[in-house]
Every structure is written in C-alpha cells, then in structure tokens.
C-alpha cells in the first residue's frame, strides 16, 4: 500500500540527508518542477518522461478543445479597441504556441507510423530471406 508524503516532509528529509538548508533544497525542487511545467507548456516535446513518476503526453482532444476556445475568443475581440488590443495579442500568441504543439504532435505521429512501416518491411524481407 502506498503511503504518500507531503512535499514539505520530503524536502525536510532530503535537506537532512544532504546536510543542506531546507530553503536551498526547496528552491532546487521548485526550479525542477518549474522547468518541467515550462517544457510541457512550451510544446517543444509532446511527451515528457519524469523519472520515477511516469510519462506525460499532450492529449490531442484536449489540445484541439483549447485551440477552439482561443480561436473563438480571438474572433470576438475587437483589436482596434486599444483596451482590447493586449488581450487580442496575448490570445494570438497563445494560439501560435498551441498550433506549434499540434504540429509537433502530428510530426511525432507521422514519424512513429513511418518507423513501424519500415520495421514491418524489414521483418517481411527477413522472413522471405529465411524461407527462400
């Protein structure tokens, strides 16, 4: 049975084990998770493997819903209104980032299909060579 621990307790344990101040350990842990969060948000990698925790994927359906939401928002904003211009530009930048993530996902999916296709061709060729 799992016995989950609070992060403060883990930081305290780790600080004692490494003989470091808790504040330094806490800063390092915060930096690590901040980096993971930024990597996920950037869309550079549609799949992120966090050691001892698992693999996190960007879900296509969630991504498409988020894109649709921002596209709808951009449509209703009047960018000629000075008060709304910053909101408009922010939404446009978010859309660009989301489109980039979607493109990365598509490229990764195509590369995976191509790899499987190539692998199957090699296996078929190997079977033919063994039989022939």
pLDDT digits (tens, 9 = 90+) for 15-45: 899 899 999 989 998 898 888 888 877 777 7
Mean pLDDT of 6-21: 84
**pTM across the whole model:** 0.61
In a domain, 49, yes or no: no
Residue 27 belongs to some domain of the structure: yes
So what's the pLDDT on residue 62? 85
> Taking the mean position of all CA atoms in its chain, how far away is CA 28?
21
The number of domains in the chain is: 2
- Cα 33 → chain centroid: 13
What is the extent of the structural domain holding 11? 7-42
Phi, psi of 81 (to 5 degrees): -80, 120
Asked whether residue 79 is assigned to any structural domain, the reply reads yes
Residues 29 and 80 in one domain: no
Give per-residue pLDDT as tens, 84-112: 888 899 999 989 989 988 998 898 889 98
CA–CA distance, 41 with 48 (Å, rounded to integer): 11
Q: Give pLDDT, residue 1.
A: 46
Same domain for 68 and 116, yes or no, is: yes
119 assigned to some structural domain:
yes
């Amino acid at each position: 049975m799992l016995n989950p621990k609070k992060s403060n307790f883990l930081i305290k344990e780790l600080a004692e084990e490494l003989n470091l101040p808790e504040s330094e350990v806490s800063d390092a842990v915060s930096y690590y998770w901040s980096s993971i969060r930024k990597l996920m948000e950037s869309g550079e990698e549609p799949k992120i493997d966090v050691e001892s925790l698992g693999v996190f994927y960007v879900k296509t359906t969630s991504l498409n819903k988020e894109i649709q939401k921002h596209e709808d928002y951009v449509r209703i904003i009047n960018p000629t209104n000075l008060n709304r211009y910053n909101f408009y530009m922010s939404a446009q930048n978010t859309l660009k980032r989301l489109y980039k993530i979607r493109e990365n996902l598509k490229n990764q999916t195509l590369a995976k299909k191509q790899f499987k296709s190539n692998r199957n061709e090699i296996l078929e060729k190997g079977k033919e060579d063994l039989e022939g």
